[in-house]
Amino acid sequence: MNAIHYREDDLYIEDLPLSEIAAQFGTPAYIYSEAALTGAFESYRAAFANLDPLLCYAVKANSNLSILRHFARLGCGFDIVSGGELARVLAAGADARKVVFSGVGKSEQEMIEALNADIKCFNVESLNELLKLNTVAGRIGKTAPISLRVNPDVDAQTHPYISTGLKDNKFGIAYDAALDIYQQAKSLPHLHIVGIDCHIGSQLTDAAPLIDALDRLLGLIDQLSSAGIALHHLDIGGGLGIRYRDETLPDLSAFAQALSERLQGRGLQLVMEPGRSLVGNAGILLTRLEYLKLGEHKNFAVVDAAMNDLMRPSLYSAYHGILPVTRREHLATITVDVVGPICESSDFLGKDRQLAIMEGDLLAVMSCGAYGSTMASNYNTRTRAIEVMVSGDQTRVIRSRETLDELLANEKSCLDK
């Protein structure tokens, strides 16, 4: 059974009605299903069992400590992109030897923190980063394990804001320059080459671009072998999508079979960096309808959640399903834009939705487990939403609702200085 489902006319998450959760914790609120998190992870583990990959959850998708701890206990590694994310995964009990550090702008301090933690690997994204990492490692008496994030110039066929594998993207090292930079890395005394990495984009609904990228990497790996550079692991990144609406998604087992055929006999550990596909469909944003604003040309459902809570629709024109928590068959369906109270015309959660609703009703914005709470802000001095984990018929607060006192504290402390 889907973790989020109707029982008669009431919407449930696992074994709890969302109306009961709203009554206890208020709105807006992020609500997650622990069973859905586990199920998504186990689907990867089952599909790729023959390859036994290291699954490094992409922390940027949702960095809540309780979610990180849950994945760590399942045996997951982590893909991080900042020193802050390193601190989070360590606080959550992660094994640093299962942590890979990606990102184009690693600072010296972030490098030092990661070296001292003895992470698995730095995914290096430029020659200058490579040189800086060698200098920093030497200064503190460490050897940095590295892979190069190679940009294979493969079109991920996704939204341009989340495409990362083309020549004009800021990410990674150009394919044609990679062999030369690997040779430079081999000559640097404080670096140890352990792998190769690529990541071409996010919300991929077709695995074919990933296979194309892998084929390009395997050709480069053969060149590296001929040059006397042996690798321990191959990191193919993440990016597999989820169903927000009616997308047809890749078959994980078929994808695993294609990888297995290509990697057979190569002796490389497979590393993968799933993010959205592990958490996206495990969470919803629960919100309450404050006002129905009916007009001659447009109707608006004004709710208490806003673009500061869920940025994706405003940022990407992303689609999220919106369901009434209580179905009201006696009400007429109307077409509405579901909008928040922020003073921006871009503040919307969904446009032209067919809903039978009345003021005071609860709505569930679906598929909000990824890039929801982690991208939230305090715009318009709005406090960030509470986050609640559901397991069966039990709830647990995993992030308390932010208060105005907390939000203002750092500024109040400066008033008299």
Cβ atoms of 186 and 193 within 8 Å: the answer is yes
Return the closest-CA partner of residue 19 out of 306, 328, 319, 281: 328
Does 275 show up as a binding residue in the annotation? yes
Looking at residue 189, its amino acid is: P
Instruction: Please state the rounded mean pLDDT for residues 188-211.
Output: 92
Q: Give the residue with greater pLDDT, 239 vs 132.
A: 132
Instruction: Please state the rounded mean pLDDT for residues 366-373.
Output: 98
pLDDT of residue 158: 46
The single-letter DSSP state of residue 204 is B
Looking at residue 404, its amino acid is: L
Active-site residues, by number, are 343
Does 20 show up as a binding residue in the annotation? no
Task: Let me know whether 358 and 231 are in one domain.
Answer: no
- Range of 64-68, 200-204, 213-217 with top mean pLDDT: 64-68
Return the closest-CA partner of residue 72 out of 91, 87, 53, 100: 91
Task: Let me know whether 25 and 41 are in one domain.
Answer: no
Sign of the alpha-carbon dihedral angle for 58, 61, 67, 70: negative
Task: Let me know whether 63 and 84 are in one domain.
Answer: yes
Task: Let me know whether 232 and 306 are in one domain.
Answer: no
Q: Is residue 327 part of a domain?
A: yes
Return the closest-CA partner of residue 264 out of 273, 253, 254, 256: 256
Does 44 show up as a binding residue in the annotation? no
pLDDT, one tens digit per residue, over 10-44 is 999 999 999 999 999 999 999 999 999 999 999 99
Alpha helices in 15-167 (DSSP H): 18-25, 34-47, 65-73, 83-91, 108-117, 127-139
Does 396 show up as a binding residue in the annotation? no
Instruction: Please state the rounded mean pLDDT for residues 51-56.
Output: 97
Helix (H) or strand (E) holding 214: helix 208-226
3-class DSSP assignment, residue 286: strand
Which tokens hold the place of 204?
């991929």
Instruction: Please state the rounded mean pLDDT for residues 149-166.
Output: 59
Return the closest-CA partner of residue 82 out of 374, 387, 406, 408: 374
Q: How far apart are alpha carbons 150 and 165 in whole angstroms?
A: 9
Task: Let me know whether 259 and 330 are in one domain.
Answer: no
Q: Is residue 40 part of a domain?
A: yes
Domain that holds residue 106: 34-277
Number of structural domains the chain divides into:
2
For residue 120, is pLDDT > 60? yes
Pick the last residue of a domain from 245, 260, 277: 277
Quickly state the pLDDT bin for 73 (edges 50, 70, 90): very high
Task: Let me know whether 399 and 314 are in one domain.
Answer: yes
Instruction: Please state the rounded mean pLDDT for residues 227-240.
Output: 95
For residue 160, is pLDDT > 60? no
Task: Let me know whether 128 and 271 are in one domain.
Answer: yes
Task: Let me know whether 42 and 56 are in one domain.
Answer: yes
For residue 339, is pLDDT > 90? yes
Residues 6 or more apart in contact with residue 295 via CB below 8 angstroms: none
Q: Is residue 417 part of a domain?
A: no
Which tokens hold the place of 195?
């792998």
pLDDT of residue 321: 98
Does 129 show up as a binding residue in the annotation? no
Neighbours of 214 (CB within 10 A): 21
Pick the last residue of a domain from 251, 277, 303: 277
Residue 90's CATH number: 3.20.20.10
Q: Residue 28: is the preceding peptide bond cis (ω within 30°)?
A: yes
Task: Let me know whether 158 and 235 are in one domain.
Answer: yes
Pick the last residue of a domain from 277, 311, 334: 277
pTM: 0.94
Instruction: Please state the rounded mean pLDDT for residues 293-297.
Output: 92
pLDDT of residue 8: 95
Task: Let me know whether 381 and 260 are in one domain.
Answer: no
